[in-house]
Structure formats: C-alpha cells, structure tokens
Amino acid sequence: MSVDEQRLQLLIEESQDQQSDAMRDAKAVIPALRDIANDRRKSALITPDEIRALEASRASTRAKLGMLAGAGAISIAVSSILAKPVAADEALDIQILQTASSLEILAVATYGAALTLPFIADGNAVVKAFAEMTMQQHDEHRQAFQAQTKALGGTVQENPNPKYQPVVDAAMPTLTDPAKVVDLAATLEQVATETYLASLNLFDDKTSLGLMASVMGVESQHLAVLRAVAALLAGGGEALIALPTDVAALPAAAGSVAFPDAFQGTTMASPPEEGAL
C-alpha cells in the first residue's frame, strides 16, 4: 500500500483545523438567524412565493393521490387534509431544511455502517479515512441544517430520509466489497448534491440559501472523489487510491471521470416535502 500514513494524518489534522474555522464562522451567524426567526414568528408571515410553491406542490400531490385512490373515501379525506390553508410553520424554507437534514442523517448512518464492514475498516487506508472524514462532515452539515431549521422557527428533523432509508437498508446485506459501498455512497451524495441545487431557487431566506450552497459544493466534492475511487476500483487500480498518489501511473480517464458533464443536473433531486415534518 503506497499510503504515506504520517502525511495523511497531517492532512486530516490540517483539514480538521479548517473545519473548525468554518464551523466557527457558521456558528457566528446563528444569533442573526435567531433574530430572523423571532421576526418571522412575531409576524407569522409566509411569503406569497412560498405559499404558491407549497400549494403547487400540494396540488400535485393531491392529483397523484387522486389518481391512485380514485374517487374513494380515502382520497377525499387525504385531499381534504392537504387542501387546508398553509400555516406559517409549514413554510417552504423549513421543509427544504428538514429534507436536507433527513438526507444528512441518512448519510451519517450509511458511512457509519460502512465503517463497520471489515473490508472498509481494514481495507484501503485512504478509503477508510475518507469515509470517516465524510461522515464527520455530513454530521456537521446536519447540525447546521437543524440549527437553521430551529432558527426559522421550524421543528427539527431528527430522522433519516424516509424515501432512501429503505433503499439503504435493503442494500446493506449486499455490500460485499468496497466498490458496492462506494456506489451506494456516490448515489447518496448525488441525491444530496442535486437536491440542494434544485432547492436553491426555492428559498425565500437568503441565509438558508447561502448555507445550502456552501454544503452543496462539499457534497459535490464527495461525489467527485467517489466517482474517481469507483473507477479505480473497477479498473483494478486500488493501489492508486493513495495520498499522495502516483500521478504518473493514473490512467488518463482519472482526469475526467469525476465530472461527466459541464453542468450539474437535478434529475435525482428530492422534492422539498420528501423529508419534511
């Protein structure tokens, strides 16, 4: 294994110092967020754009439920609930943050579970270190999104994403080698990246938008690294997953496999209500 353990440790420590700086900056905005939240609670306002967006989303859900359940009593009952006026605590910003929290919780749990697998725990040192660091970064993202939810007066989402949790549960017994773990992690990172991208222009609160943009870039880097690692594993180049790596030995495709398109799409984005309470 061509891993310079001492250098890797130094890099991780250096990165952790940078994380601490970033977290200090993030925490500094929390009082301002609380002020915004207090203002919002006092006025109990929800903007017209939020109402329109939320109601459009609900109308779509009602239509889908109507198609599924026909004209039966269940459909009427559920549609009736969804047709109730939008309350302040159901603001779209909060829904987006709750869904983001749910994705971060699931990511933390998934990386945590992966680290218990022997071929990760005792496998490639860089892959293991990446899993540990990425899990920690996701947990800090969770904390930030939850703090923001609270600051806006919402209920904090404490549970994993309801759509993807069953998928991860089903996948866990099939994770028999590092490549499968990397594929699963890459999928979760892609869902998070695209969800945050698709959510940016739905925000009314600009501070929330800024936070999500700062997290989005980091998730996209996780995705890029996982794509490169997946390709190296698939091509029998596990030894090249090292820090520092042997750049001269990397295949040409290593220079482009991490970003297949010039623009990030959003086809895998989760809608705001997916992880909302």
Which region holds residue 190: left if phi is over 0, alpha if psi is between -120 and 50, else beta? alpha
Question: For other proteins, which residue of 103, 117, 120, 191 counts as binding (CB under 8 A)?
Answer: 191
Binding of residue 187 to other proteins (CB under 8 A):
yes
Integer Cα distance of 138 and 104 in angstroms = 6
- The residue from 65, 69, 172, 243 that contacts other proteins (CB under 8 A) is 243
DSSP letter (8 states) at residue 4: -
DSSP structure class, residue 70 = T
What's the min distance (Å) between Cβ of 117 and other proteins? 17
Nearer of residues 157 and 190 to other proteins, judged by Cβ: 190
**Pattern 221-240, other proteins, x by CB under 8 A:** xxxxx-xx-xxxxxxxx---
Looking at 68-76, 100-108, 115-123, 178-186, which segment touches other proteins (CB under 8 A)? 178-186
Q: What residues contact 177, with CB distance under 8 A and at least 6 apart?
A: 119
Euclidean distance between CA atoms 169 and 48, whole angstroms: 39
Which CB sits closer to other proteins, 90 or 194?
194
- Determine which residue in the list 215, 273, 276, 277 makes contact with other proteins, applying CB under 8 A: 215
Q: Which C-beta is closer to other proteins: that of 72 or that of 217?
A: 217
Please tell me whether residue 269 binds other proteins under the rule CB under 8 A. Answer: yes
For residues 25-64, which are near other proteins according to CB under 8 A? 25-26
Q: How far apart are CA 199 and CA 193, in angstroms?
A: 10
Of the two residues 84 and 263, which places its CB atom closer to other proteins in the complex? Answer: 263
Q: Which string of DSSP letters, residue by residue, matches 34-66?
A: HHHHHHHHHHT---HHHHHHHHHHHHHHHHHHH
Q: Kindly identify the residues of this chain, within the stretch 93-152, that bind other proteins according to CB under 8 A.
A: 130, 133-134, 136-137, 140-141, 144
Among 258, 273, 276, 277, binds other proteins (CB under 8 A): 258
Q: Name which of 123, 56, 46, 59 is nearest 91 in CA terms.
A: 46
Nearer to other proteins, 91 or 188 (CB): 188
Closest CA to 214 of 198, 200, 229: 200
Q: Cα–Cα distance between 217 and 260 in angstroms, integer? A: 16
CB of 9 to other proteins, least distance (A): 11
Q: How many helices, marked H, and strands, marked E, lie in the chain?
A: 10, 0
Q: How far is the CB of 73 from other proteins (least distance, A)?
A: 28
In the complex with other proteins, the residue whose CB is nearer, 38 or 256, is 256
**Complete DSSP assignment for 160-181:** --TTTHHHHHHHGGG--SHHHH
CB of residue 71 to other proteins, shortest distance in Å? 26
Member of 106, 218, 276, 277 binding other proteins (CB under 8 A) = 218
